[in-house]
Amino acid sequence: MNLQKHLILNRFFLNIFGAASTGELLSSLSPTLDQQRNITPAFWERLYHHGKTYFSEEQFWNYQQAIETYQLRLQKTRRQPEFTLQYFQVLAILFSEIFLDWRYHQPERFIEELNRFLNAHQSMFKSPVSSFTISDLNKIAFWMATGSGKTLLMHIHYWQIQKYSPIRWDNILLITPNEGMSYQHHQELRLSGIQSVLYEGNKRQLAVNDNAVLVIDIHKLMEERSNRGVRIDVSAFEGQNLVFIDEGHKGQATEEKRWKTLRERLGESGMIIEYSATFGPVISKNPFLLEEYSKAILFDYSYQFFFADSYGKSFYTVNLKTNRYSSRQQEEVLLSSLLTFYLQLNQFYLHNDEVQEYYLEKPLWAFVGNRVTGEKLESDVLRVLLFFRELFEKREEVNQKIQNLLTSSEAPSSALSQFLNEMAGNLSITIPEVSSILQNIFKGQGQLEVYEILRAQGELGLKLSGSDEYFGVIQVGDLSALKRLLNKFQFSLKPDYFSDSLFRSINHLNSSINVLIGAKKFVEGWNSWRVSNMVLMNTGKGEGPQIIQLFGRGIRLKGRNFSLRRELSAPPHIQLLQTLYIFGLNADYLNSFLKAIVEEGISPEDVKGRKYSSQYEPPSRKEKSERKKSIRKVFVKAELMKDLIIDVRPRFFQLTSGKNVRIEPNLQSHQDNHCLPWELLDWDELFLQTLQLKGQLGLHHLIITPEVIHEIITSNQYTLKAFPHQLEITDIRDLNPLQQIALKIIKEYLIRFDQISQ
């Protein structure tokens, strides 16, 4: 479903200005902007020429003057005299200025015009859309890309409501997705001179002054009264409410319906203004929201338009499509991310004066995982800390690994080598030894120390022994489980009784934090200009809206003169800092990312039709239901075994803003299966895993015995493609990858046996 084709309210306003789509309007306005995308007088003349059939000349120029007044107000209150609204922000504000004027001064005529337009365009819907009523005018929404300045739009909308609405609001609420975003909105409102109260659990905070905004995250709201914790019943906000909602969607149907109920109860007799970067993927998964938002989305400047206008950072991703049996390649991806971040930080300090001219923030290295706790190395957070500990304690070994990586001529490692050497070459610098890298990123030398920040919930601080400054912060939800896991791996935790939240200090000018580690807790709505390098672990497996939100954490860019735009002709060191580098580690991120940005209208070259993985995809439910499931006993077929090829070699995928490349391994395959110590496998565990696998693949009708499993694995009739180092057994821990390879052999055999036996 293409949501943009269903935006009735948005299309009505586009039609006012002579356009059938957002793209058409933006294209027609492009000649009226200067080279820096600033508005010229021709911009306003063009809009007036098309809109004069809907409003008088005096009305239009009053709208234009009002927008200039809002801009001046932001310049003064925020003490940013150089700040100017971008042209797309001006359009969003113009749309809302007209909407609110008509909503409160001529609602009957407004409804009549909307329904006339709706009746003329009903054919765009597969099913009829009900006519507009006055209640439909009590909600408007803005589909805006992350980094497009939604926060300041919200402040202007607050002033517009105060200007046009005759209502004395009983409550003015700002609903956010989490506590961190509530805190940031509270600070931003104060910077713009708007009274704000941050709800932190004290019920007395609910009694706010007139026109003050109460900021509260949606998790503190409930539908039934309760005395538990800090949550409050929505019935506490009776009367006519003005409700602002920032990213109020989760994507899952059950949560969407619950959150929708909360939103409707809060704004049932008032006004709701909503902002999101993810309306597209959310509504595609929750079609029951389609009609509501087709009537509510007033302005669409989603990521496809944002990116095409050169706003935000460019991006470059490297994804390792692999499984647990490729630890060497996982380490190479981490080292590549380390070196890339070092270069970014190095160039930031080396060109500090020029960096300030472009309003570039100090780079931040973010690790985002899906899991906090797990057995052995399955914890994403633990994996990062073990990597750091090796950097500090085995510097000579790490230094050799870096040199091997930089000089590698064997694919897929050679792809990373070329990428890193080209980057350093463009900057005319040489990547130094690891001691210099550690000093630059981690604030010194020494042992890794972990502190629990007792004055901040869910935070651990990271520093090196002998250093007074923290270089990193871990921000998670379930800290107690993580602490137990860290203790198992000999990480001694020390208490810090005095430090305030390190996570909240990340955006401070004097912040020493260079590294942020978390398990997606900071994905939703977190606002920072610093993220320039991401490592993703077990992330991106169908999260939908969260993929776009996560991507949005890193592409935010202030730009020269607060333009929000990247400079395409900037020197290499500036382009380096205007790029978001994403490294996927044991993640299915690339496919999900590509799917998400294609849904947003971005089509990188050479993407269509590529197969990113040779992994088996189970048939659809419909295909399964059409099969006859006769019970069959699995046995070893010699001809089937000879055609069985198991390829466990890792592959890298590289994606830039405009090109996608798959790096194929070119080493000779290791096929000497006779040398593998299969007798060391845990055969009982392999049998249980096979039974589990059958259920996942829908192969319940196949009967397999432990004896057949043993015969398949030890037959040596199949072809196993792997790098030699993947099959080396030097430690008991190497048996786990071998176990995974054995399971993959069984999996591929069962799939082919089922297909041939039908």
Q: Would residue 691 count as lying in a domain?
A: yes
Q: Is 173 helix (H, G, I), strand (E, B) or coil?
A: strand
Burial class (CB in 10 A: 0-12, 13-18, 19+), 196: buried
Whole-number pLDDT of residue 654: 64
Report d(CA 143, CA 150) in Å as an integer: 9
Burial class (CB in 10 A: 0-12, 13-18, 19+), 604: middle
Domain span holding position 91: 1-167+287-309
Q: Is 508 helix (H, G, I), strand (E, B) or coil?
A: coil
Q: Would residue 612 count as lying in a domain?
A: no
Mean pLDDT in consecutive groups of 10 residues from the start of the chain, 758 residues: 84 94 91 87 93 90 95 94 92 97 95 94 78 95 90 97 94 88 92 92 72 89 54 80 84 66 83 90 80 94 84 81 66 93 94 90 88 54 91 92 89 83 91 89 87 91 90 86 88 91 89 87 70 79 59 79 83 92 69 60 40 28 45 86 82 60 51 68 86 80 88 87 78 79 89 78
Give the amino acid at 81. Answer: P
- Extract the tokens encoding 421: 């050497």
pLDDT in tens, 129-147: 899 999 999 999 999 988 8
**Would you say 289 and 553 are in contact if contact means Cβ atoms under 8 Å apart?**
no
Containing 702, the helix (H) or strand (E) segment is strand 702-703
Q: Would residue 208 count as lying in a domain?
A: yes
Q: Would residue 714 count as lying in a domain?
A: yes
Q: Are residues 176 and 160 in the same domain?
A: no
- Report H helices in 360-510: 380-393, 395-406, 413-426, 434-442, 479-488
Q: Would residue 604 count as lying in a domain?
A: no
Q: Are residues 300 and 338 in the same domain?
A: no
Q: Are residues 434 and 578 in the same domain?
A: yes
Specify the pTM: 0.71
Q: Is 311 helix (H, G, I), strand (E, B) or coil?
A: strand
Q: Would residue 606 count as lying in a domain?
A: no
Q: Are residues 441 and 515 in the same domain?
A: yes
Q: Are residues 180 and 327 in the same domain?
A: no
Nearest to 573 by CA among 690, 427, 408, 449: 427
Q: Are residues 357 and 427 in the same domain?
A: yes
Whole-number pLDDT of residue 189: 96
**Would you say 149 and 89 are in contact if contact means Cβ atoms under 8 Å apart?**
yes
**Would you say 594 and 604 are in contact if contact means Cβ atoms under 8 Å apart?**
yes
Q: Is 732 helix (H, G, I), strand (E, B) or coil?
A: helix
Number of compact structural domains in the chain: 4
Q: Are residues 378 and 345 in the same domain?
A: yes
Q: Are residues 301 and 433 in the same domain?
A: no
Whole-number pLDDT of residue 625: 40
pLDDT in tens, 674-698: 567 888 888 888 888 888 788 777 7
Nearest to 427 by CA among 364, 361, 494, 342: 342
Burial class (CB in 10 A: 0-12, 13-18, 19+), 486: buried
Nearest to 672 by CA among 712, 710, 728: 728
Report d(CA 110, CA 102) in Å as an integer: 6
Q: Are residues 218 and 119 in the same domain?
A: no
Nearest to 326 by CA among 392, 377, 385: 377
**Final residue in a domain of this structure, among 309, 341, 375:** 309
Q: What is the mean pLDDT of the chain?
A: 82
Q: Are residues 477 and 585 in the same domain?
A: yes
- The contacts of residue 488 (CB under 8 Å, 6+ apart) are none
Report d(CA 480, CA 137) in Å as an integer: 47
Residue carrying structure tokens 């990062």: 384
597: which DSSP letter?
A: H
Report d(CA 227, CA 218) in Å as an integer: 17
Q: Would residue 97 count as lying in a domain?
A: yes
- Extract the tokens encoding 239: 């009367």
Q: Are residues 630 and 570 in the same domain?
A: no
Number of Cβ within 10 Å of residue 62's Cβ equals 14
Q: Would residue 279 count as lying in a domain?
A: no
Containing 294, the helix (H) or strand (E) segment is helix 290-294
Q: Are residues 346 and 445 in the same domain?
A: yes
Whole-number pLDDT of residue 692: 79
Whole-number pLDDT of residue 135: 93
Containing 339, the helix (H) or strand (E) segment is helix 327-350
